[in-house]
Amino acid sequence: MPRQSDKTTCLVAGAGPAGMMLGLLLARAGVDVTVMEKHADFLRDFRGDTVHASTLGLLDQLGLGPRFASIPHRLIETIRMKLQGQPVELDLHRLPGRHQHIALVPQWDLLELLADAAQTEPTFRLLRSTEVTGLLRGADGARVVGVEYRDSSGETRQMRAELTVGCDGRSSTVRSALGWQPRGFGAPMDVWWLRLPRRPGDPGGLAGVFDTGHGTITIDRGDYYQIAHVIPKGSDAEMRAQGMPALHRALVRTVPWLADRIDTLSSFDDVKLLDVQLNRLRRWYSDGVLCIGDAAHAMSPVGGIGINLAVADAVAAARILAGPLRTGRAPAARLARVQARRWAPTAFMQAMQRAIHARVVAVAMTSGDPQPPRAVRLVAQSRRLRWVLAYLVAIGPLPEHAPRYARRGG
């Protein structure tokens, strides 16, 4: 039985990119906000570490640009793909704004930066090792009035909140407690994440090769490559059973210059599966509760845009909700406005990802056709199309800007 009750204005479940950004912005608006994170720290498995141009611009607006710049990171200025023999290069130099690149930082460094900034605000609280386990309902049995959670000592407690925001990712507890099922769009692939050493003089940046039956993306992380190796959906067990030599052969086939270091990858313990999901909730809110980020829409890794979209959701939510939350209210009509604002860019980017799944990834994974698909040839030939793609990846449709109350510096 729960033994203790507490109160906050906005309870954020999950301290990923969406939850930390929302917590920071609401705290800067003077809203009492409590973020609960089930892990003790941000140091966990690789989760993707691309910080796109629009998020970099946002960090500048928040006065966090200099601190971000002091974190060791690498910049990607061109994305080079080879799709069934057809080279396609996305040049980010021509993008508008100060940041004509994508930055690569470990996600935990970005989250720690946001947490440090938020913790200087008197109305902010981050509870680590604290897991949301369920939702509290009001007297009408419908309105969500807070959460039940397990604290760092393992005790079950309750916290009441005017608004609960599910930022708890693709396996969201908040979403499950509401009984909501996202609509799934399927995906033709899963991804194996692994690392191989990078040596001085090796190619930098981000490069991908998709060929008949194979797909490999190498991301320069300084002294190593973070590698995404694309495998057919649901084939993890079968492919592991084929053994390490088969993986070595597949990697060297797509990226031949990895041959001289391929033996450093000796165990499948170092190969992590990403079960690719692409889904979206029909409705992101109900009375007293809202889901954003992956909890509302899991993105495919295509384009590496999941963090950017999660952050953009948080910015829109903070801008739309800070006013009413300051007076201790979160009317459902305002929650609806958050979904209305973020639905179109999300649906658009998911439609793009689905098209790339169907026309590029599935074709490369399954067909014996060595010809690149028509869509790929069109993009390769058209500078304008390549600019549009670069813009969509690095900035995205409807980029969100920091609310005035949250801006610091220049």
Ligand X SMILES: Cc1cc2nc3c(=O)[nH]c(=O)nc-3n(C[C@H](O)[C@H](O)[C@H](O)COP(=O)(O)OP(=O)(O)OC[C@H]3O[C@@H](n4cnc5c(N)ncnc54)[C@H](O)[C@@H]3O)c2cc1C
Shortest distance, CB of residue 2 to ligand X, whole angstroms?
16
Instruction: Give the interface segment with ligand X, choosing from 207-215, 263-271, 287-295, 374-382 (CB under 6 A).
Output: 287-295
Token code pair at residue 53: 């141009």
Cα–Cα distance between 271 and 213 in angstroms, integer? Answer: 19
Cα–Cα distance between 345 and 326 in angstroms, integer? Answer: 28
- Nearer of residues 282 and 383 to ligand X, judged by Cβ: 282
- Nearer of residues 37 and 121 to ligand X, judged by Cβ: 37
**Contact call for residue 46 and ligand X (CB under 6 A):** yes
Where is 337: in which H helix or E strand? helix 332-356
Instruction: Give the interface segment with ligand X, choosing from 205-213, 258-266, 289-297, 364-372 (CB under 6 A).
Output: 289-297
CA 208 to chain centre: 20
- Sites for ligand X among residues 310-349 (CB under 6 A): 310
Cα–Cα distance between 330 and 332 in angstroms, integer? Answer: 6
The site for ligand X, by CB under 6 A, has a size of 34
Shortest distance, CB of residue 395 to ligand X, whole angstroms?
13
Cα–Cα distance between 216 and 357 in angstroms, integer? Answer: 15
Shortest distance, CB of residue 398 to ligand X, whole angstroms?
16
Q: What is the DSSP string of 102-138?
A: EEE--HHHHHHHHHHHHTTSTTEEEESS-EEEEEEE-
- Sites for ligand X among residues 129-158 (CB under 6 A): 131-132
Instruction: Give the interface segment with ligand X, choosing from 163-171, 240-248, 316-324, 377-385 (CB under 6 A).
Output: 163-171
Residue with tokens 């869509």: 375
Spatial CA neighbour of 340 closest among 270, 283, 408, 256: 283
Shortest distance, CB of residue 127 to ligand X, whole angstroms?
9
**Contact call for residue 166 and ligand X (CB under 6 A):** no
Where is 307: in which H helix or E strand? helix 306-326
> Binding residue for ligand X (CB under 6 A) from 23, 48, 182, 288?
48
**Contact call for residue 395 and ligand X (CB under 6 A):** no
> Binding residue for ligand X (CB under 6 A) from 68, 124, 180, 193?
193
Shortest distance, CB of residue 107 to ligand X, whole angstroms?
7
Where is 103: in which H helix or E strand? strand 102-104
Cα–Cα distance between 218 and 207 in angstroms, integer? Answer: 5
> Binding residue for ligand X (CB under 6 A) from 88, 177, 307, 352?
307
- Nearer of residues 79 and 295 to ligand X, judged by Cβ: 295
Q: What is the DSSP string of 168-226?
A: --TT-HHHHHHT--PEE---SEEEEEEEEE--TTS--SEEEEEETTEEEEEEE-SSEEE
**Contact call for residue 18 and ligand X (CB under 6 A):** yes
Is residue 165 a contact partner of residue 4, using CB atoms and an 8 Å limit? no
- Sites for ligand X among residues 198-257 (CB under 6 A): none
**Contact call for residue 59 and ligand X (CB under 6 A):** no
**Contact call for residue 39 and ligand X (CB under 6 A):** yes
Cα–Cα distance between 213 and 188 in angstroms, integer? Answer: 12
Shortest distance, CB of residue 39 to ligand X, whole angstroms?
5
> Binding residue for ligand X (CB under 6 A) from 29, 163, 227, 274?
274
Q: CA 15 → CA 131, 132, 141, 242, distances in Å?
A: 11, 12, 28, 38
> Binding residue for ligand X (CB under 6 A) from 8, 10, 19, 125?
19
Site for ligand X, rule CB under 6 A: 13-19, 36-39, 46-48, 50, 131-132, 167-169, 173, 193, 274, 293-295, 299, 301, 304-308, 310
